[in-house]
Structure 1
Amino acid sequence: MTETTSLTRAERLDRLPFTREHGRLVVGSGLGWALDAMDVGLISFVMTALVAQWGLSNGEVSWIGSIGFVGMALGATLGGLLADRVGRRQVFALTLLVFGLATGAAALSWSVGALLVFRFLIGLGLGAELPVASTLVSEFAPARVRGRVVVALEAFWAVGWTLAALIGYFVVPTSDDGWRWALAIGAVPALYAVVVRRGLPESVRFLELRGRTDEAEAAVRRFERAADVEPVRSPAPPPAVAAPGPGALWSAATRTRTAALWIVWFSINFAYYGAFIWLPTLLFNDGFSLVKSFEYTLYITLAQLPGYAAAAYLIERWGRRPTLATFLLGSAVGAGMFAAAEGDTAVLLTGMVLSFFNLGAWGALYAVTPEIYPTALRATGAGAAAGFGRLASIAAPLCVPLLVDTGGTGLVFGAFAAFFVLAALAALRLPERRGEALDDPITSGTALRG
């Protein structure tokens, strides 16, 4: 490539190999992601402990499980809108600070009401963080490996949930204050927010949209130096534009994919959070001891890791749409098997099957979501889909006691299987963007074709 070659900054990023700077971005964002997952996972163990200590009713436990998702629904929507206006990195750091401080405060809860307030505040931070982090990583990853990189980011969720399971197993049962110590550990993200704010780059595409060309050029050169690639000239970006409102998600060009995406997000949230938030409690209620229920939950959680690995491999071999649909159908099979399982071994093995496919589906979904919208709408679109999905995560923990009373654990997981099938059908309506550049559909029109 000669010095006179002219490439856009996005094209310069796409030509690069995966470098140590990409690795730092994935790990830096992934640690925040893992801390997020740890916090979400901890509440399932806290709920189980509080049933034993505070004598909570199923209704009270349901609200403890759901109130955080009320905050997450609001946080995801607002976080996406803010990220398209003030930047991905800024919002990412802010969300870590909010949910870290709120988690530490929750350790001091003196009543159910106080815990509900803190869980809502935690949810605000958690909800905004995930779509913003995935958007930031997807906008730096080279097109040929973008899906694999975002699945690798999502795999940090399994790391965080595993940490939650370990804390639940080794810390929560140790004393009456074990659950408080567990939540105190969950305050670590507040400290990590400082690292994120200082160490991670801002999205080049966002900087160009805001007319901050010098900062965008510096970010690109940082990655080019890591790859030992000579910089080339880039044309002036289009004039800075205002971020479109959320109504643009339902324009003629985007409404089909938005509807399909929202159905997938709603369905997978209902099935996942309904299952995993309640899993230790359901096992405990089915006769497992507190320690045994936590131990099985840990083993089932560990099955997430190979699920992510399989999805990361297949998403660049099969493509986004077939990988997502296949793992959703596998999740439906796993949920159905768990519903019919009898005996300790069957419960453990079928739970691991469900965990393997379910988290692989999550990885594929996070890879798909930022790709289907233009730069000016990308974080808004990802946040809105996540926010709508959180409505299901609010409803699911509330519905579980009703389903248990009606038909037991079998009916609960049968319902989850049905939601996974619905999600798989909706996934087939999403566009396939494997190997394509993250171009700007508002200007090019290419990425908004169905």
Structure 2
Amino acid sequence: MPASLENSRPNRTHWLVTLYAGGGEFCDGYILSIIGVALPLVTSDFALGGAMSGLIGSASLIGMFVGGLVFGYVTDKVGRQKVYLADIAAFILLSVGQFFVSDPWTLTVLRFAMGIAIGADFAIAGTIASEFAPRRSRGPLLVVMVTMWSVGAAAAYVVGWLMMTSGHDDWRWMLASSAVPAALILLLRFGTPESPRWLMSKGRTDEARQVVRHMLGPDADLHDLEAEADSGGVRRYTDIFRGEYGRRTLFIGVFWACQLLPIYAITTYEPTILASLGLDHGDSAYLGSVALQIFFVLGSLSGILFINRGRRPLLLWSFALAAVPLLVLSLLAEPSPSAVLVLFALFGLASFSSQCLQAIYPSELFPTSIRATANGFATGASRIGAAIGTWGAPVVLGHSTRLAMFLGALICGVGWFVSFRLAPETSGRSLAETSSDRAPADPSAATPDSGTTSPDAPVREPS
């Protein structure tokens, strides 16, 4: 059988595209998490109240709402490659700009602009990685890509803790430090090929053929790309709200928001939360945050074990198990520091195990012509919930940490219910099949990958 994108084995190009897309996720996690370390210092330096502190903490999430809504659509129109480079360049400029701010409102504006760039990157990273990935390896490859967000978040807490020297400008160095990984990723992303699926959707068949043959050899077949291009027929932004696609848009927006609201609220104010629960001696709150980030990374990586056994059960079990430790924390009046760390570690393992679905579901449920648009809209819509959680967290935490944990558990329950009603099964199917608007009536009717799909064809490494 001639090699094609859907039936090939992952080769060097697949991994490089995945890792470069993951590099953007690393920067996203770093930028969104470093503010959690810096914010207590910013609050002290500018003598901020809870509302202004929450606004700075949530500004990037509000920006992501705008960036996702706008640049997902732009990406579908002008191509993956251009946005792929521009958003990382913006990271560098805005990161450096944060060092020189003189008032909280300027910092808020810069964080908002940073969020626009992050929203654009979220829309493009999962889209471009999924469009290169073979069907049986798409899940594991995107797990690796999404895990880079958790690695970036963990790195932010480590770097932030190391930079905490009790100096007046510590927070400036922390926020500006994101320019370093962004510059490295920008250099690596140069030379990334344009998505052959996007080229096919624009009628640029010869260019698509050249990219695929460079990856897979001179006899590479384009039939799977042609099948998806022929099954499309949608071009407008509003197509993601119509018919079956409207149902899918509702699903991914709600489940993504329910995943992110407790995660962002907890990670942004993790040192504050841990201090309120008893880890308030010296650097214990920050060291506890670093330790928890390790479990978040492990949780994200654990998705590799389950992703090809079924997207739907992974999402349902993740929500159910993530709710339990938050509910327990809401019931304990004075938990011990060790119990706090164990429960948060369990929350991280459970909730992050399905983070890969934030990239996989939008990419698999929509055709090439609106894939980035849908991904961008889901990014933006989900950040409404995340921004509400991040802005409201200081207010709720000021009232009661136990109430905050109960609300987190309740949101996980809402996510489980919506996923139970709407989550489809897409494992082991080609993008042409999963993105068709002819979905089974039963969300779980599709059979997960059992290893009986098209056999892998030999591939040739790109020169």
CA distance in 2, matches of 1:327, 1:235: 32
Residue 99 of structure 1: how far off its partner (Å): 2.4
**Distance 1:232-1:251 versus aligned 2 partners, 3 A rule:** closer
**Distance 1:448-1:200 versus aligned 2 partners, 3 A rule:** farther
TM-score w.r.t. length of structure 1: 0.91
The aligned residue for residue 460 of structure 2 is none
Higher helix share: 1
**Distance 1:304-1:32 versus aligned 2 partners, 3 A rule:** same
Residue 434 (str. 1) matches residue 423 (str. 2): no
SS in 2 for 1:253: helix
Pick one of 308, 311, 325 that aligns with 1:320. 311
The aligned residue for residue 280 of structure 1 is 271
Residue 264 (str. 1) matches residue 274 (str. 2): no
Pick one of 10, 13, 28 that aligns with 2:20. 28
Report the residue type matching 1:367 in the other structure: I
1:10-52 CA distances to partner (integer Å, 9 max, x unpaired)? x711121111111111111111211111111100011122233
Gaps of 5+ in 1: 6-10
Question: 174-183 or 370-379, which moves further after superposition?
Answer: 174-183
Report the residue type matching 2:425 in the other structure: E
SS in 2 for 1:439: helix
CA distance in 2, matches of 1:114, 1:410: 33
CA distance in 1, matches of 2:339, 2:232: 56
Q: Residue 26 of structure 1 contacts residue 149 of structure 1 at CA under 8 Å; is this kept in 2?
A: yes
Q: Residue 100 of structure 1 contacts residue 122 of structure 1 at CA under 8 Å; is this kept in 2?
A: no
SS in 2 for 1:361: coil
Q: Residue 364 of structure 2 contacts residue 431 of structure 2 at CA under 8 Å; is this kept in 1?
A: yes
Q: Residue 334 of structure 1 contacts residue 351 of structure 1 at CA under 8 Å; is this kept in 2?
A: yes
CA distance in 1, matches of 2:182, 2:140: 29
CA distance in 2, matches of 1:334, 1:82: 40
RMSD across aligned C-alpha pairs, in angstroms? 2.4
Residue 412 of structure 1: how far off its partner (Å): 0.2
Q: Residue 95 of structure 2 contacts residue 178 of structure 2 at CA under 8 Å; is this kept in 1?
A: yes
CA distance in 2, matches of 1:133, 1:15: 22
1:294-349 CA distances to partner (integer Å, 9 max, x unpaired)? 111111111012212221210112x0011011111111112223334512111111
The aligned residue for residue 37 of structure 2 is 45
Residue 124 of structure 1: how far off its partner (Å): 0.7
CA distance in 1, matches of 2:62, 2:259: 16
The aligned residue for residue 9 of structure 2 is 17
Gaps of 5+ in 2: 444-463
Residue 133 (str. 1) matches residue 125 (str. 2): yes
CA distance in 2, matches of 1:78, 1:286: 40
SS in 2 for 1:202: coil
Report the residue type matching 2:128 in the other structure: L
CA distance in 1, matches of 2:271, 2:135: 40
Residue 66 of structure 1: how far off its partner (Å): 1.1
SS in 2 for 1:316: helix
**Distance 1:179-1:418 versus aligned 2 partners, 3 A rule:** same
Pick one of 389, 403, 410 that aligns with 2:382. 389
Report the residue type matching 1:126 in the other structure: I
Report the residue type matching 1:55 in the other structure: A
Q: Residue 90 of structure 2 contacts residue 117 of structure 2 at CA under 8 Å; is this kept in 1?
A: yes
The aligned residue for residue 346 of structure 2 is 353
Residue 290 of structure 1: how far off its partner (Å): 5.7
Residue 83 of structure 1: how far off its partner (Å): 1.1
**Distance 1:405-1:39 versus aligned 2 partners, 3 A rule:** closer
Structure 1 segment 33-432 matched on structure 2, within 5 A: 33-188=25-180, 190-192=182-184, 194-225=186-217, 230-232=219-221, 237=226, 244-286=235-277, 288-289=280-281, 291-317=283-309, 319-341=310-332, 342-406=335-399, 408-428=400-420, 429-432=422-425
The aligned residue for residue 8 of structure 1 is none
**Distance 1:232-1:264 versus aligned 2 partners, 3 A rule:** closer
Residue 171 of structure 1: how far off its partner (Å): 0.7
Question: 193-202 or 180-189, which moves further after superposition?
Answer: 193-202
CA distance in 2, matches of 1:293, 1:437: 45
Residue 405 of structure 1: how far off its partner (Å): 3.9
**Distance 1:448-1:372 versus aligned 2 partners, 3 A rule:** farther
Residue 195 of structure 1: how far off its partner (Å): 2.4
Report the residue type matching 1:231 in the other structure: A
Q: Residue 23 of structure 2 contacts residue 185 of structure 2 at CA under 8 Å; is this kept in 1?
A: no
Q: Residue 140 of structure 2 contacts residue 304 of structure 2 at CA under 8 Å; is this kept in 1?
A: yes
Question: 215-224 or 359-368, which moves further after superposition?
Answer: 359-368
Aligned length: 436
Residue 159 of structure 1: how far off its partner (Å): 1.0
Q: Residue 89 of structure 1 contacts residue 196 of structure 1 at CA under 8 Å; is this kept in 2?
A: no
CA distance in 2, matches of 1:335, 1:16: 42
SS in 1 for 2:429: coil
SS in 2 for 1:124: helix
Question: 106-115 or 248-257, which moves further after superposition?
Answer: 248-257
Identity of aligned residues (%): 26
Poorly superposed stretches of 4+, deviation over 4 Å: 232-243, 444-450
